[in-house]
């Protein structure tokens, strides 16, 4: 079947956010006198929310301050360090042209997601941008996706979830959606294959073949 709506993950799917996240995390670790991590190590740490990211590198008594320091640095520096993933602008603009309803379900705070999408001129193409700062539990809890479905007015059976991580497969299944993943982010191809997603795509642009043209019927 072809889908009429899409719920997209953000980091590693539409945005290459790793340099910005690494910059903020490095600032936090330096402040607390902790050893640095590489960009590749950062890539493997992200995807489960900011609090979980910080919990993986700092003890509990430092985490609240670390989260605030990270947020401040990220808001200032992330926009100039973030890039679109290959094919992301084409995919989003083409789906919007077809009349496909679009949403974001990310463990990144929605305030940052909107800031970054707006910087690329894409924010207005999404009917819903979800994040834990809006009161949703982090993925794989399905709350963000279910809220997106309600707002878009498209049933789960006609909506495709698109992501890059094993948590995205779990999220889609919790919400009752088919899932397509592209192994370009934090999870390896082997990790994704083990979960048997509905579609394992070599490139993001390949997702276009899974959506219909709503405006043509």
The full length of the chain comes to 217
pLDDT at site 217: 64
pLDDT tens per residue, range 22-75: 999 999 999 999 999 999 899 888 878 889 999 999 999 999 999 999 999 999
Lowest mean pLDDT among 9-13, 42-46, 175-179: 42-46
Does CATH place domain 5-16+83-210 in 3.40.50.1000? yes
Q: How many angstroms separate the Cα of 12 from the Cα of each of 54, 66, 83, 107, 155?
A: 19, 23, 10, 12, 26
Domain boundaries, the chain: 5-16+83-210, 18-81
As a whole number of angstroms, the distance between CA 26 and CA 186 comes to 18
CATH code for residues 18-81: 1.10.150.240
124 is catalytic: no
pTM of whole model > 0.85?
Answer: yes
As a whole number of angstroms, the distance between CA 97 and CA 103 comes to 15
pLDDT tens per residue, range 78-115: 999 999 999 999 999 999 999 999 999 999 999 999 99
Tell me which of 9, 16, 23, 168 is the catalytic residue.
9
């Amino acid at each position: 079947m072809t889908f009429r709506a899409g719920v997209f993950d953000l980091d590693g799917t539409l945005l290459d956010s790793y340099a910005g996240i690494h910059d903020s995390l490095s600032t936090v670790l330096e402040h607390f006198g902790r050893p640095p991590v590489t960009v590749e190590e950062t890539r493997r740490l992200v995807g489960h929310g900011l609090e979980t990211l910080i919990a993986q590198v700092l003890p509990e008594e430092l985490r609240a301050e670390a989260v605030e320091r990270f947020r401040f640095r990220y808001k200032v520096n992330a926009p100039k360090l973030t890039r679109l993933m290959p094919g992301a602008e084409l995919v989003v603009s083409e789906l919007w042209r077809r009349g496909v309803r679009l949403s974001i379900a990310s463990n990144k705070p929605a305030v940052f997601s909107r800031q970054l999408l707006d910087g690329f001129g894409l924010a207005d193409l999404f009917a819903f941008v979800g994040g834990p700062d809006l009161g949703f539990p982090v993925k794989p809890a399905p709350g963000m996706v279910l809220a997106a479905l309600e707002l878009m007015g498209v049933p789960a059976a006609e909506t495709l979830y698109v992501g890059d991580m094993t948590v995205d497969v779990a999220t889609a299944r919790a919400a009752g959606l088919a899932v397509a993943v592209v192994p370009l982010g934090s999870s390896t191809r082997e990790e994704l294959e083990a979960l048997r997603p509905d579609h394992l795509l070599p490139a993001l642009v390949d997702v276009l073949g899974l959506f219909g043209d709503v405006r043509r019927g």
